Structure formats: C-alpha cells, structure tokens
Amino acid sequence: MTTMMTLATLAQQEGEISTGGLNDWLVNNAIPLVLLAVAVLLLWLGGGKGDNAGVMRRLGGVVIALAIIGLAVGGSGVKVGEWISGLFTG
C-alpha cells in the first residue's frame, strides 16, 4: 500500500506521466533487434535452400510491416487517415 502511495506521490511531484521514454527505447532498441532477427531468419530459412523467390515474397511482407511501423512512430498516420477519408467524402 505504501508503494502505491509513493508512486502516486512521485507522479504528482514530477508532473505529467508520459510514454516518451518507452517509445524512444522501442525505436532505438527493440525494432532494430526484431529487424535483425527477421533478416537472419529469412536468410536461414530461404537462402540456405536456394529459394530466393520465397525470400523475396516474405521480404515484401516485411517492407509493408516496416511502412506501418514508420507511420505509427513518425506520427503521420493521422494525415494518411485524413487523406484516405477525403477520398470517400468528396
């Protein structure tokens, strides 16, 4: 109970609570590690067998996923959403 009260008191003293530190950590550490793991798996699974076409098909999915992550992290997803809705609303 005292830990909860201490955290609440600390949050009030520090001001606003944000997720900026978590976002920076994910962008700087987690995403490059996941990309490295995906690259190694693509090379290991497809490249070792000579299935280059299969590797390129999977790589297309990875590029689409990277574009979605880029929109989410960069903050331009709202602009894209407004553009898409503008196509249908006239």
Q: Is residue 7 part of a domain?
A: no
Q: Is residue 38 part of a domain?
A: yes
Please give the tally of structural domains in the chain: 1
Q: Is residue 28 part of a domain?
A: yes
Q: Is residue 60 part of a domain?
A: yes
* Contact between 46 and 55 (Cβ < 8 Å): yes
What is the reported pLDDT for 9?
64
Confidence of residue 52 (pLDDT cuts 50, 70, 90): confident
Domain that holds residue 22: 17-89
Q: Is residue 43 part of a domain?
A: yes
Name the H helices within the chain: 2-14, 20-25, 31-45, 52-74, 77-89
* Contact between 27 and 73 (Cβ < 8 Å): yes
Q: Is residue 4 part of a domain?
A: no
DSSP letter assigned to residue 49:
G
pTM above 0.75, yes or no: no
Q: Is residue 74 part of a domain?
A: yes
Q: Is residue 57 part of a domain?
A: yes
